[in-house]
Amino acid sequence: MNNVHRSNRVTGVLAAALLLPGLALASTLETVKERGALRCGVNAAQPGFSALDDEDTYQGLDTDICRAVAAAALGEGARVDFVPLDSVERFAALQSGEVDVLSRTTTWTSTRDTTLGLHFVGVSYFDGQAFMVASDLGVQSAKELDGAAVCTQSGTTSELNLSDYFRLNGMSFDPVVFDAPEQSIVGFEEGRCDVLSTDASQLYAQRVQLADPDMAVVLPEIISKEPLGPAVRQGDDQWFNIVKWSLYALLNAEELGVTQANVDDMLDDDSPDVMRLLGRDGDYGEGMGLAADWAYQIVKQVGNYAEVFERSVGAGSPFNIGRGLNALWRDGGLHYAPPIR
Amino acid sequence: MSVRPNARPMGHKPPFWRDRAKRALIFQVLVIAAVAAFLLYIVGNTQQNLASRGITTGFGFLDNTAGFGIVQSLIDYSSQSTYGRTFFVGLLNTLLVGGLGVLAATLIGFIVGIARLSPNWLIAKLAAAYIETFRNIPLLLQIFFWYFAVLRTLPGARDSLSFGEVFFLNVRGLYLPEPLFESGFGLIPLAFGVAIAASIALIVWNKRRHEATGKRLPAYWLSFALILGLPLLVLVASGVPITWDVPELRGFNFRGGVTVIPEFLALWLALSIYTASFIAEIVRSGIQAISHGQTEAAQALSLPRNLILRLVVIPQAMRVIIPPLTSQYLNLIKNSSLATAIGYPDLVSVFAGTTLNQTGQAIEVIAMTMAVYLSISLTVSMFMNWFNARVALVER
C-alpha cells in the first residue's frame, strides 16, 4: 500500500545519500538517451493532470509536459516511463534520481526551491486553494466555516494555507488529514468532515468523481497562490534548460498559432518567429544538446499549450475549467513565455 | 639423543600473537575500529553528498514555526507552535494509542485465551472463531474496516445520538463532558494516594500473618474497596468540587467537553482486536504447557478450583506466556504507525508525514522517528525482561 511505497522511496533516498561515493552524476540528458526513456514522476490518480485512461495510459496536463520533454530530448513523446508518486515521497524520488522530472501538481514555494536541491522550471498551471462543501449546509462563503472539520491530504501546502486562513479570520477548524486523495474524498462523502480543501483544479475534478456531484459546491474564495510546475534536480543546468524550454515551446507554439494539426503546414510559414520555433532558421536546440527540430517534435507529438489544456482540464474534458489565469498574457492570463531566438 | 625443545624457557614470555587471549583482544579492537571507521565514513559522505546537492541539513528546522493544525493533541498545540512540538504531539498520540491498545489487547487476549479452553462447547468454539478470523485478516484492512464501518453507521453532527444530553456520538467522534476541578479538589488525589499506601501495607501484613498463622483476610477485595471508597468518601464529604463542561451543538459541531475522534477509536479497536487474537493463542499455549499432574496434585490437596488456577497454574503458565507476549506488545506499538492511512495524527502521520514534507529534511526526520520506535520498543522489552526474570522458575 501507500506506506510501503513511501518507505521504500524514502529508504531509497537515504541509501543513495549514504552510499554513493562522491558525486558521479552523468548528465541527465545522457542518462535519458542511454535508457531510451524519460522517467517522469506523476500523480497516480489525479484526473485532468495525471490519471490512467481506459487503455491504461496516463493522460493529463502533467503527463503531457513529460511527453513534451521526451519529444524534445528523445524525439519521441511516447518514450516516457511514468512513475506514480504520492505527495510525501515525490521529492525523495527526484533527489535520489529515481525520476528525471517531477511533474506532479507541485506548488513552487521558496522552501522547496531553495532547501530541497530542486529547481522549479516554470509554471505549467496557475492554481489556488479552495473549499468544497456539501450543498445542503447552505454555506455561501468560506467565512462561514468557523468550527468546521476539514478533510485534506498530508504532505501538501494545503495544510499550511488552511491554518493560516482560519487563524487570520479568527475561526477554528479540525483538520482531518489523510495520506491519499481517495481517502479524503471518502471521508468527505461519509460526512467525517464538512469541507474538503485542496487546489481548486483538483476540487473540480474530485467533485465530478463524487457519487452525486450535485451534493457538493465549490466555494468562490481562493485562499492561496498555487503555481504548479515541473521540477528537476539542481546541478544539471543543461537538463534544467531542456525542461524549461520544453514548457516554453508549448506556450510559444500557442502564441504563434502553431497546432498539432497545422504544424507541418507551418514549416513553410515565413514568419521569422515560427521559423525559429520549428528549427527552420538557426539551431536553437544546439545550446541544450538537442536536435534543431526539438520544438517541432513537441508540437507535432503533443500539441501546443492550449490543446493540452483543453483536452486535459478545459472544454474538451469533463471538468470544463476555464482558462482564467492560465490564458496567455495577451488574453488576460499570466502565461508569458520568453521568445525563442 | 633427541632433545625435545622446552615448551617455554622460564621468565620468557611468548610473542603476543601466540597468546590466545591477546589475539582475541586485538581482533576485537580491529573489528570495532573498522565498524567505527565505516560509520564515520557514512556520516561524512552523507553530509558531503547532501551539501553538494544543495539539500539543507541539520536540526535547526525543529525551532521553526510549523504552521499546520493537528486534530488531536494531548499537549498545548496550535499552528504557531514549532516543528519540535509536532514531534511531541505525534509521539504522545502514538503512545496513547499504543498504551491503551496494549491494555485492551491483554484483557481481550486473556479472556479469549481462557475461553478457548473452556469445557463449554459454545464458548470454546466462539473463542476459536474469533482467533481464526482476526489473526488471518491483514491489519490494514481491519483498520479500514473499523474506520469506514464505524463512519458509515454513525449519524451526522445534527442528528447525533445523545445519551442523556450529556454524551453525544456522531460521525465526528464521541463527545464527553470534561470535568473542571475547583479548589479543594486536591484532597481527592491525596485520598487516592493514602488508599494505595494503606492497601499495600494491608497486603504485606496479610501475607506475613498468613505465613505465620495460616489465617488470612480477603486482602485484595479489601484494598479494592479501599482504593475506590476512600476518594469517593472524600469527594462527597468535600461537597463534590467538580463542574462539568458539557458539549453543546454550536454551528457545525459540538464545542466544549472532550472529543474522542473516530480515527482513534478505529485504530484502537483494530490494533486491540488484532493483537488480542495472537495473545489468546499465547495464553492458551501457556496454560496447556502446565502438565495436568500439577492440577491433579493440587486437587489432591483439596484446593478449590480458583486457587488452583491462581496459585498453581497461572504462575507457571506466566513463564511460558511472557516472552512471546513481549513480542506482541512490540508488534502492536509498531503497527500503530498504520494510523497514517486513516488520518490518525500519530508520529508517522504528523512528524514523518507533514513535517517531513514541509521541511523536506527526510534524513533527520526519519532518523528521529526510527530512534523513537527503537527506544519505545527497547524500553518495553527491558521492562518485560525484568518482569520475566521475576516470575521465571528459580533453578537451584
B52, B69, B354 member nearest A154 (Cβ): B354
CA proximity to B156, closest of A162, A197, A188: A188
Structure confidence by residue, pLDDT tens digits, B3-44 = 555 555 556 777 877 888 888 999 999 999 999 999 999 988
What gap in Å lies between CA A162 and CA A141, rounded to an integer?
15
What gap in Å lies between CA B234 and CA B335, rounded to an integer?
42
Note the Cα A115 to chain centre separation in Å: 20
Phi, psi of A271 (to 5 degrees): -70, 130
Q: Of chain B residues 324-363, which have a CB less than 8 A from chain A?
A: 337-338, 340-343, 345, 349, 353-354, 356-363
The reported pLDDT for the residue numbered A15 is 55
What gap in Å lies between CA A178 and CA B374, rounded to an integer?
25
Distances A41 to A95, A240, A332, B114, B267 between C-alpha atoms, Å? 11, 16, 31, 53, 32
Contact list, A92 vs chain B (CB under 8 Å): 362
Q: Give every strand in the sheet of A101-102, ordered side by side.
A: A80-84, A38-42, A101-102, A231-233, A118-120
CB atoms within 10 A of CB A36: 10
Q: What percent of chain B stands above pLDDT 70?
A: 95
Contact list, B152 vs chain A (CB under 8 Å): 190
A322 vs B217, higher pLDDT: A322
Contact A88 B56 (CB under 8 A): no
CA proximity to A174, closest of B264, B88, B366: B264
B79, B357, B363 member nearest A167 (Cβ): B79
Average pLDDT over residues A145-159: 84
Contact B362 A194 (CB under 8 A): no
Longest C-alpha distance within chain A, in Å? 63
Look up residue B281 and give its three cell numbers.
493463542
Helix, strand or coil, per DSSP, at residue A308: helix
CB atoms within 10 A of CB A318: 12
What gap in Å lies between CA B356 and CA B365, rounded to an integer?
6
Asked if ipTM goes beyond 0.90, one says: no
Helix, strand or coil, per DSSP, at residue B163: strand
Contact A191 B360 (CB under 8 A): no
Contact B252 A190 (CB under 8 A): no
Contact A115 B156 (CB under 8 A): no
Contact A23 B148 (CB under 8 A): no
What gap in Å lies between CA A44 and CA B219, rounded to an integer?
63
Identity at B347, one-letter amino acid code: L
Q: Of chain B residues 45-104, which have a CB less than 8 A from chain A?
A: 45-46, 48-50, 52-56, 67-71, 79-80
Please give the residue of chain A at the shortest CA–CA distance from B364.
A14
Residue A8: pLDDT over 60: no
DSSP B113: H
For the residues of B46-58, what is the DSSP string, one character each? HHHHHHHTTB--S
Look up residue B361 and give its three cell numbers.
529534511
Residue A44: pLDDT over 80: yes
Look up residue B376 and give its three cell numbers.
519505545
Contact B55 A173 (CB under 8 A): no
Please give the residue of chain A at the shortest CA–CA distance from B256.
A147
Please give the residue of chain A at the shortest CA–CA distance from B263.
A176
Find out whether A92 and A112 touch, Cβ atoms under 8 Å: no
Contact list, A147 vs chain B (CB under 8 Å): 250-253, 255
Q: Of chain B residues 274-313, which have a CB less than 8 A from chain A?
A: none
Contact list, B338 vs chain A (CB under 8 Å): 3
The reported pLDDT for the residue numbered B72 is 86
Contact B56 A183 (CB under 8 A): no
Residue A6: pLDDT over 50: no
- Supply the angle between the helices B262-288 and B314-335 in degrees, to the nearest 10: 150
Q: What percent of chain A stands above pLDDT 90?
A: 57
Contact A154 B48 (CB under 8 A): no
DSSP E strand stretches across A2-64: 38-42, 51-52, 58-59
CA proximity to A238, closest of A22, A24, A30: A30
User: What percent helix, strand, coil does chain B show, rounded to 5?
Assistant: 70, 10, 25
What gap in Å lies between CA B158 and CA B153, rounded to an integer?
15
Average pLDDT over residues B63-90: 89
Contact list, B250 vs chain A (CB under 8 Å): 147
- What rounded mean pLDDT belongs to chain B? 86
Please give the residue of chain B at the shortest CA–CA distance from A7.
B366
* Residue whose entry in the numeric block shows the C-alpha cell 506475613: B208
B52, B54, B69 member nearest A163 (Cβ): B69
CA proximity to B267, closest of B106, B110, B144: B144
Q: Give every strand in the sheet of B173-176, ordered side by side.
A: B161-163, B167-170, B173-176, B258-260
Find out whether A127 and A143 touch, Cβ atoms under 8 Å: no
Average pLDDT over residues A1-11: 47
Structure confidence by residue, pLDDT tens digits, A67-120 = 999 999 999 999 999 999 987 788 889 988 999 999 999 999 998 898 888 999
The reported pLDDT for the residue numbered A16 is 53
Helix, strand or coil, per DSSP, at residue A49: coil
Contact B363 A92 (CB under 8 A): no
What gap in Å lies between CA B86 and CA B1, rounded to an integer?
87
The reported pLDDT for the residue numbered A101 is 96
Contact list, B45 vs chain A (CB under 8 Å): 18-22
Contact list, B53 vs chain A (CB under 8 Å): 23, 95, 117, 233-235
Contact B360 A175 (CB under 8 A): no
Does the CB of B372 have a partner CB in chain A at under 8 Å? Answer: no
Residue B374: pLDDT over 80: yes
The alpha carbon of residue A176 is apart from the nearest alpha carbon of chain B, in Å, by 6
Find out whether B143 and B265 touch, Cβ atoms under 8 Å: no
Look up residue B291 and give its three cell numbers.
502438565
Structure confidence by residue, pLDDT tens digits, A199-212 = 898 888 888 888 88
The alpha carbon of residue A250 is apart from the nearest alpha carbon of chain B, in Å, by 29
A95, A177, A186 member nearest B349 (Cβ): A177
pTM of the model: 0.76
Q: What is the CA radius of gyration of chain B?
A: 29
Look up residue B288 and give its three cell numbers.
496447556
Question: What length does chain A have?
Answer: 341
- What rounded mean pLDDT belongs to chain A? 88
**Interface probe with B: pick from A19, A174, A196, A236, most Cβ of B within 10 Å:** A174
CA proximity to A7, closest of B388, B202, B365, B242: B365
Question: Mean pLDDT: which of A234-243, B70-79, B208-217, B297-306 is highest?
Answer: A234-243
